[in-house]
Structure 1
Amino acid sequence: MLDLKGLKCPLPVLKTRKALTRLSNGDRLTVLTTDPMAEIDIPHFCSENGHTLVEAERLDGGHRFVLTKGN
């Protein structure tokens, strides 16, 4: 799990990208954020970089994303 609560754009996407480099293709990563822009940025990042957004959930004060690493 990657807890990025309190970080503002563009840090959630940058730190998610870095965390994914340490994973193998097909591995899952759960990302927690409080930045409102993450609701747009994380799905866009996934689609642009070949990763799969498995789940996106709004939480009180933030979001939870589950990603599967692609190529």
Structure 2
Amino acid sequence: MNEAFDITETLDVKGASCPMPVVKTKNAIDNLAEGSVLEVLATDSGSMSDIEGWAEGTTGVELLEQVEDGNVYKHYVEKTA
């Protein structure tokens, strides 16, 4: 994993299924300052495509990286605006 960024906050949504990982990610990123990086920990395999699609369609966020670590999916989202 490339951790060339500093994680500001970690959001644990393990056990939650679609659409909750995306909903909770959006709520958490809304409360962070510009330049903050949110680490999202999920167990729903669908979160890989769901969070990617949400980030691509959302102004003000950038998906930095996604990592599959066993049965935990880690997403790193930066608030850019």
TM > 0.5 between the two? yes
- Unaligned runs of 5+ residues in structure 1 are none
Q: TM-score, normalised by structure 2?
A: 0.83
Asked whether 1:47 is paired with 2:31, we answer: no
Name the count of aligned residue pairs: 71
- Deviation of 1:62 (Å): 2.2
| Distance in structure 1 (CA, Å) of the matches to 2:54 and 2:80 | 12
Q: By percentage of residues, which structure has more helix?
A: 1
Q: Give me the identity figure in percent.
A: 32
Q: Does 1:4 align with 2:13?
A: yes
Question: Structure 2 unaligned runs (5+)?
Answer: 1-9
Which deviates more from structure 2 when the two are superposed, residues 57-66 or residues 5-14? Answer: 57-66
RMSD: 0.9
